[in-house]
Amino acid sequence: MLKEPGAHQHALEMVTLESLVPEDHLLRQIDACIDFEFIRDKVSRSDKDSGYMVREGKPKGFFYLDHRTVDGKHAIITDSHVTAANVHDSRPYLARLDRQRQRFGLEVEAVGLDAGYMSAAICKGLEDRHVYGVIGYRRPNHKSGYFYKREYRYDSEADVYICPAEQRITYNTTNRRGYREYKSDPQVCKRCPLLMQCTRSTKHIKVITRHVWQDSKERIDRHRLMDAGKKIYARRKETVERSFADAKQLHGHRYARMRGLDKVREQCLLAAACQNMKKIAQVKAHKALLSLIRWLSRPIRRIRWSQIDSTILPQLY
């Protein structure tokens, strides 16, 4: 009843994507110009706990990160938290801040952070905890020939953006990442003489995003321009940066001596303990020296010998 399959039905044909894409296709030009390796989640074959780090000005490779918190008065290390290098600095910050406040009873009044911690979540978290935050500034990426985002004014009362051509960009939706999206009217934009400086969208729609906690981010950002904020951030350079420099130069912090997250955490905690012992000894020695200076500089009471009874003279010797 069933026919025997022919020979052509047993034949295998090998088809690859390489053969399907023409030689002059645009995808081949893009692949030649852009390295898409950053999309893959690289895993080290020798240490799976480490993370592949790609940062501007830093070497690429598998590393660990030591997220360190340092006291602003005596430069005592209050927390050392180790993660893989592909974990962003801002992710564990608020949880580590809460841990220090709860475990040690620290009353944190102000913090100084570098520009890598500038995110809406951290700014909102600092305000909720009533902590005065000062975060460094990083110049945003800007495409030449386009308007800067700051040239689009935000009207908080009407909840709209005003473009350089004085047209309203109204609210459209809120995405899953917590950003409110504002879109322009394409009928107005396609006749605008500033269109090419605003957007190259084929639909003639300009889209501006604003985080739901953007107000907190703007308030925290203003702190770095105040006198108090400048002093706090200047103190950060003398404490946190110096702490990492000493750890690298004197305590072998440049390299992980062992493999695995737990063992690297032990190394970082031991280095922090050694640094803290030296700092505490310096602080105590400084306080003892100040006490000695105050004792030596105390006023000496002068005695008039004519007013001393001769019967108490032997008691003075």
Q: CATH 3.30.420.10: which residues of the chain?
A: 65-137+224-281
- For residues 84 and 187, what is the distance between their CA atoms, to the nearest angstrom? 49
Return the number of other C-beta atoms located less than 10 Å from residue 221's C-beta.
16
65-137+224-281, CATH topology level: Nucleotidyltransferase; domain 5 (3.30.420)
Query: What are the pLDDT tens digits along the chain (317 aa)?
Result: 556 655 555 555 555 556 666 767 777 777 776 666 555 678 888 999 999 988 888 888 999 999 999 998 899 999 999 999 999 888 999 999 999 999 999 899 999 999 989 999 999 999 999 999 999 998 888 888 899 999 999 999 999 999 999 999 999 999 888 999 999 999 999 899 999 999 888 888 999 999 999 999 999 999 999 999 999 999 998 899 999 999 999 999 999 999 999 999 999 999 999 999 999 999 888 888 778 778 777 775 555 555 545 554 444 44
- For residues 282 and 291, what is the distance between their CA atoms, to the nearest angstrom? 14
Report which of 201, 191, 200, 146 is spatially closest to residue 167, judged by C-alpha positions: 191
- For residues 159 and 168, what is the distance between their CA atoms, to the nearest angstrom? 10
Report which of 143, 161, 160 is spatially closest to residue 151, judged by C-alpha positions: 161
